[in-house]
Structure 1
Amino acid sequence: MANADEPENLSGRRVFINCVDSYQGKNIAKYLSQSVVGASLEEIEEEEEGEEEGVVAPPKEGCFQVIGTVKDKTSPKPPFVKEILNYDSKEQLYEHMVECDIIIYDITEDPEQIDEAVWAVSELNADLDRIEKMKTFILISSVMTWAKSKPLDPEDPEIPFTEDDYRRRKPHPNFKEHVSAEKTVMKVGKTNKNKLVTYVIATGLTYGAGESIFHYLFKAAWHNTPELQIFGNGENIIPSIHIRDLAGVIQNVADSKPKVRYLVAVDDSKNPLEDIVKVVSQTMGSGKTKPISKEEALLSKDIEQADFDMLLVNLRMDAVYVKENMRIRWVCETGIVENIEQIVKEYKQTRNLLPIRALVIGPPAVGKTTVVKQLCERYKLHHLTVKDVINDAMEALQRSSARTDVGEEEEDDGKAQEDQELLDAINESKEEDSGRIGENYVLRFMKEKMRSKPCQNQGFILDGYPKTMEQARDLFAMDDEEEEAEEGKANFDRTMMPDTVVSLEAGDEFLQERVMNLPESVVAGTHNTEDGLRRRLAEYRNNNTEDESVANYFDELEIHPEKIDVTQDKLPMMKETVDKIAKLMGDPRNYGLTPEELEEQRRKEEVERLQKAAEEKAEAERREAEEAGLRRSQQEEWTSRLNEVKREEYELLEAQSIPLRNYLMKHVMPTLTQGLIDCCKVRPDDAIDFLV
């Protein structure tokens, strides 16, 4: 039998993994397909430059060959999987499975896989006489099979459980079948260790690479939910592990076949739920949290019962064997809280939730706001105008400074007092400059808005600002306290810099004509008067010369603005221009429509469908009425013509019959009349013969 020191033939090992389209199955399969067989038996060298996050590479030479099943039969084969099994019966599945050296069954995500895992290991055990090459069976179970275990020391409940305590484990009531499967796998592995060796890995709650059980939390934070919810008091300790670290444990088991058959896979963290929720909120969201009762949590549509049970688990566990005997290049050994920046980055990249940043510039009245509004609705981005940003910032300052008036004592490190001082300084500068806010404050507010969590999560479109090359340099420059730019690289903040810059262009005559055609109600109280537009146009042309303009600033940074002539756009609401910019920006990077928006969309579609059906029915009735009237008109015309033809024929016959009547009256009727009179008198037996 092979052991850690004497691995058997490691080259070209085939690994079976169930449900490679699930969160854990996919990430484990991807990890193993990029892991050289036997690599975990060697000392860990310096970490090589990793592949770009989110890029899925095909299987490498000398790595594990992944064979798997999928839950969704219509899904395409992942590039990191060598083969997806198609089968009609369990017998066919077993024939494929038995050809693999390592069989991995994950029963943590789909309870329906428990019976299949038990069946698979039992079939292998029953077929040992026919098996020539040793098989390794790995069951990935959950720490929930330990959820109700009694403390090792009642006087010190903080003593963690380890692999050695697995016989004392007590499962959560909803995870009894998992324990039964664990026991079956452990028992079967004792039958013939030279042909079948079995392992159970009790894994903590997995995180990273787009998230699974914590996805509801990251999604809520990304969507700027005001407060993230903490279920219960949040003091329960959640054993967890990064999904790639779990895959590293599985790689070690596959390579070394350790003598310990029950393993615990958790990281070093002992994070309570409250800390996890808080750090996600602080890193991605508002920083605020809200405890809710367990009853309220169960009403959430985003949480299933199994996930809810796991999020409320309270366990302290140590993966002693894993840490002391396995060679793992840990991704997050210290846990989710300590590595939150990296995990958030993984989440955004894996789910393609990277922010979209754009800037639309152009002369006054060219249609910037009309275009940007539609783009923000399409891409679910934040629409940034100088006026709105200043108003929001001033309102926030007033709310914050008001706390000093009412005497509220909040742990804000004197922020209320600072905001009051800033508000006073702004008001003083406005008085000195005819009510205009200073440019330094505008830049400050714009930077704060662009660096806010919502703008960093979804992205934004700047509408007409910056207006000058100098403003552009100041707006996108790194702050003084930040690191100096590397030599040879431009000094700008990449987290704020637009990916797409569009310059809408039109001549002054066109713009003046457009403003003159606006309704009086729209123009009233705005700068879009004839004199106002003329002044603003002159200011814009002076600020954006051929040698110095906002477009020149971006050209210097190799972010070349796309110029669009709006005079050629004849569609309502500048639809053609909007579509051109959307093509430059690419596909949306978000979750798509919310359930409410989907319902609203369905409602609108239903209204439109009913309206269209009513219009079609009305149109059909109108056509039918027209056709009926046409038929009546044609029938009347046909009847009239028929009567006319009959009259003409009658008159013709009458005219043609006059000579014949004259002949009969003159030559036939007198003799015939006399003969009939005589016939009546005589009354012969044969009247015809008498007449003749």
Structure 2
Amino acid sequence: MASQDEEKPKSKRIFINHVDQYQGKNLAKFISRCVVGASLEEPEEEDDARSTTSSIIASPKEGCYEVVGTVKDRDAPKPDFMKEVIKFDNKDQLYEHLVECDIIVYDITEDPDQIDEAVWAVSEIHSDLEKIEKPKMFILISTVMTWAKSKPLDPDDPEIPFTEDDYRRRKPHPNFKEHISAEKTVIKLGKTNKAKLVTYVVASGLTYGAEEHIFHYLFKSAWHNAPFLQCFGSGQNVVPTIHIKDLAAVIQNIADSRPKVRYLIAKDDTQTTLEEIVKAISDKLGKGKVKNITKEEALLSKDIEQSDFDQLLVNLRMDAVFVKENMRIMWVSEAGMVENIDQIIKEYKDSRKLQPLRICILGPPASGKTTVCQKLCEFYKLHHIKIKDVIEEAIEELQTLSRRADSEDQEDDDGKAQDAQELLNEIEQSKNQETGKIEDPHVIKFFRDKLHSKPCQNQGFILDGFPKTIEQANELFATEEEDDAEESATTKFDKLIMPDYVFCLEANDEFLRNRVMNLPESVVHGTHNDEEGLMKRLELYRSLNNDEETVLNYFDEKEFHPEKLDVTKDDSPMMRDTVEKIKKTIGEPRNYGPTPEELEEMKRQEEEARLKKEMEEKQEKERQEAEEASLRKQRQEEWTQRLNEVKREEFELLEAQSIPLRNYLMKHVMPTLTQGLIDCCKTRPEDPIDYIAEFLFQNNPQVD
């Protein structure tokens, strides 16, 4: 039983800071798949480690490192490869988590703010060694910039590389003095009680691989088809580099083996210059051109920060002797960036999901292919491949090349100018024989060259109405490799240019004829979209695409099943409904998304729309208030007028009602009352009221 327990791998808890950033994320992802002690085993048993170099993450095995760590963005979700993300409000809470870990890794190359935290962490652990039971390992990942100003080992031979043995002679770049101070503190604190706390410093070369970090500006520019890639300065400076997964493997080896050497250099086995790196990226991903710019011009670029600029201009020859001689590493890129550039570019595209999107839109004339292609190109940022444009570009390029045949500097031309002129002559002859049309073999060649170009291979393309026939499709998508003898004829095709999606816009002749007839004269004039031209093209299209034979059959055979869309039911402007159906089938774009300029323009448009809406709302509110005020005033006037009318009517009514009463009083009451008052005045009784009352009672006239 005891032997079985010993064979069972025991997991260890490892802390890594900022696991949501480039280095922290890739280190954590790699180490979380590493079995504790795997790097100590014999090479034939290291197959498990090889899987960690793949872009596909395998399921974690028993006995792997349990990775915990912090994040820079507190709102970032917990990565799948993490055991726990540490959220803390103060350093005391962070320290409680750190002391629970067997290994603590702090990377200070990306965020200078982490330097103080790393020094604090190792200092706190060192001060509490008496209370700590389990031994701790602290690994500081620093940068080769702490060596940037080191004097050559031999002034007469400056190409002698630095090794770990020379670390006491290192001199830092002026902007990296805090880094070397942290290195010295970590080394010093690890010497006190090695049984309880062992410390390591790893001077890492500039990291590359995965989604890219410091070299990302080069990959991004090349992928976006920049005319050239910028190389800072002369480009002759030697840049120490290491693949991010190889750096992770170094950390794994340190964690497993606890080496006696406390200061290690981590870099691949190359002495590559900056110009060689830029040239390799440009050749394989971009247009193959490099432009050297001054350091002053480079500092004006928005795409690169000061710290990255300093690192790219470093000039250091270093040799990671201990790593090469004492560590078991399944190298991903031991030979460096230049030698492994194809694999690194694939890794970059996979990590950032920058896969080319290839689409083919087919259909009869006037079915709206070009309109749909334009809308899709705008949304997906793809290249619109039209027959006319492809032929014109190819002819223009051939003419440019052929002009060199007459120039003096033909020596470096390798016969390209002569070949171009011969091809132009062949095309001219075929046009004369084919009544002005270029033969299919030449058109197919132009298309293949266009689709294999870097822009189409990087972003992707939309074929607008081509190929038209099965023969054209067979020639266009035919593979040039003959090694795959096992592949059947139905599955053999050029995977670099075969469309991922094929759509066919369908409509009857009457609908298409009516559509063209309703076009403005200015649009139709001078084109083949008049009624006669349309009918000829429709007749040709129907003959090439009958029920038994159509170019769609080619794609069906290759298992790229075309989706047919009936455009007769689409009455939306600019065929918006059809475009939306295609978008739903294809899904999200596979690119960087809007550029900063486009985002700024979108923001500006949104702001303008918001201000316009607010202005309209304000004007509408003012209009409503004015209408309400006018209505109130009108109602007030009407009410006043009606009130006065009512008062007048009431007065007239009272007047009319009082006439009979007044007549009665004047005839029957007032004479008697008047006489009574006169008598009262004459008599002067003690109680005049009683006297008047008695008088009226006695002299009351009896009125029937």
- TM score, norm. by length of structure 2: 0.92
**Aligned-pair CA distance for 1:200:** 1.1
Query: What does residue 472 of structure 1 align with?
Result: 473
Code of the residue aligned with 2:95 in structure 1: it is Y
- Give CA-to-partner distance per residue, 1:264-316, whole Å, 9 cap, x none: 11111111000110110011111001000001101111111110010000011
Greater Cα shift, 680-689 or 252-261: 680-689
Task: Write out per-residue CA displacement over residues 409-435 of structure 1, whole angstroms, 9 at most, x where no aligned residue.
Answer: 583423333323323332332233222
What is aligned with 1:18?
17
Alignment correspondent of 1:583: 584
1:223-622 pair list within 5 angstroms: 223-408=224-409, 411-479=412-480, 483-484=483-484, 486-488=486-488, 490-622=491-623
Listed as ranges, the matches of 1:85-96 within 5 Å are 85-96=86-97
Distance in 2, Cα, partners of 1:389 & 1:99: 64
Deviates more, 1:677-686 or 1:461-470: 677-686
Letter in 1 for 2:43: I
Distance 1:505-1:8 versus aligned 2 partners, 3 A rule: closer
SS at match of 1:590: coil
Q: CA deviation at 1:398?
A: 2.7
Shift of 1:99: 1.4
Moved more, 399-408 or 29-38: 399-408
Distance 1:54 1:588, change over 3 A: farther
Contact 1:57 1:79 in 2 (8 A): no
> After alignment, is 253-262 or 627-636 more displaced?
627-636
Secondary structure in 2 matching 1:411: helix
Contact 2:33 2:52 (C-alpha < 8 Å) held by counterparts: no
Change (3 A) 1:675 1:37: same
Partner of 2:32: 33
Instruction: Quote the Cα distance in structure 2 between the aligned partners of 1:427 and 1:678.
Output: 147
In angstroms, what is the RMSD of aligned CA positions? 2.4
AA paired with 1:466? Answer: P
Higher mean alpha-carbon deviation, 534-543 vs 661-670, is at: 661-670
Matches within 5 A, 1:612-651: 612-651=613-652
Would you say the 8 A contact 1:59–1:79 is kept in 2?
A: no
Q: 1:560 is aligned with what amino acid?
A: H
Quickly say closer, same or farther: Cα 1:655–1:52, change in 2 above 3 A.
Answer: farther
Is the Cα contact below 8 Å between 1:33 and 1:60 reproduced in 2?
Answer: no
Amino acid of the residue matched to residue 139 of structure 1? L
Unaligned segments of structure 2, at least 5 residues: 1-5, 694-704
**Which deviates further from its counterpart, 284-293 or 163-172?**
163-172
Contact kept, 8 Å, 1:231 with 1:294, in 2: the verdict is yes
Match of 1:187?
188
CA distance in 2, matches of 1:678, 1:59: 133
Name whichever of 389-398 and 635-644 sits farther off: 635-644
Q: Does the Cα contact within 8 Å between 2:9 and 2:35 map onto a contact in 1?
A: no
For structure 1, which segment, 669-678 or 680-689, has the greater mean C-alpha deviation from structure 2 after superposition?
Answer: 680-689
Aligned residue type for 2:558: L
Higher gyration radius (CA): 2
Structure 1 pair 260–527 and aligned structure 2 pair: CA distance change class (3 A)? same
- Contact 2:31–2:248 under 8 Å retained in 1: yes
SS of aligned partner of 2:339: coil
Report the CA distance shift for 1:38/1:647 in structure 2 as closer, same or farther (over 3 A): same
User: What SS does the aligned partner of 1:337 have?
Assistant: helix
User: C-alpha separation between the residues in 2 aligned to 1:464 and 1:200?
Assistant: 61
Deviation, 1:569, is: 2.1
Q: How far off its partner does 1:674 sit?
A: 6.1
Q: Structure 2 vs 1, CA of residues 335 and 350 (structure 1 numbering), >3 Å: closer, same or farther?
A: same
Q: State the Cα distance separating 1:44 from its structure 2 match.
A: 2.0
Cα distance change on mapping 1:424 and 1:685 into 2, 3 Å: farther
Residue identity matched to 1:456: Q
Amino acid across the alignment from 1:32: I
- Measured in 2, the distance between the counterparts of 1:92 and 1:569 equals 62
CA contact (8 A) 1:230 1:277 kept: yes
Q: Is the 2:30–2:52 Cα contact (8 Å) retained in structure 1?
A: no
Instruction: Return closer, same or farther for 1:52/1:13 CA change in 2, 3 Å cut-off.
Output: closer
Change (3 A) 1:518 1:396: same
**How many Å separate the matches in 1 of 2:131 and 2:106?**
22
Deviations 1:49-90 (A, max 9, x none): 848954445533221111111111110111111111122222
User: Given residue 549 of structure 2, which amino acid in structure 1 is its aligned partner?
Assistant: E
Secondary structure at 2:358's aligned position in 1? strand
Instruction: Tell me the TM-score normalised to structure 1 length.
Output: 0.94
Distance 1:460 1:681, change over 3 A: farther
Could you tell me how far 1:618 is from its partner in structure 2?
2.4
Q: Following the alignment from structure 2 to structure 1, what is the Cα–Cα distance between the partners of residues 378 and 664?
A: 100
Aligned-partner Cα distance in 1 for 2:576–2:55: 34
Count of matched residue positions in the alignment of Structure 1 and Structure 2? 685
**Aligned 8 A contact 1:485 1:491 in 2:** no
Shift of 1:230: 0.6
Match of residue 202 from structure 1: 203
Q: What's the offset of the Cα at 1:103? A: 1.1
Q: Measured at CA, do residues 51 and 170 of structure 1 come closer, stay the same or move farther in structure 2, by a change above 3 Å?
A: closer
2:701 equivalent in structure 1: none
* SS, match of residue 234 in structure 1: coil
Q: 1:522 to 1:688 in 2, by over 3 A?
A: farther
2:93, 2:287 → 1: CA distance? Answer: 53
The separation in 1 between residues aligned to 2:325 and 2:540, in whole angstroms, is: 71
Q: Distance in 1 between matches of 2:549 and 2:160?
A: 68
- Tell me the amino acid that sits aligned with residue 43 of structure 1: E
Relative to structure 1, the CA distance from residue 353 to residue 326 in structure 2 (aligned partners, 3 Å threshold; closer, same or farther) is: same
CA gap 1:113/1:410 in 2 versus in 1, 3 angstroms = farther
Deviation of the 1:181 alpha carbon = 1.2
Other-structure match for 1:3: none
Are the aligned partners of 1:149 and 1:168 in contact in 2 as well (CA < 8 Å)?
yes
Alpha-carbon distance in structure 2 between the residues aligned to 1:8 and 1:190: 32
Measured after TM superposition, the shift of residue 366 of structure 1 is 1.3
> Offset at 1:95?
1.8
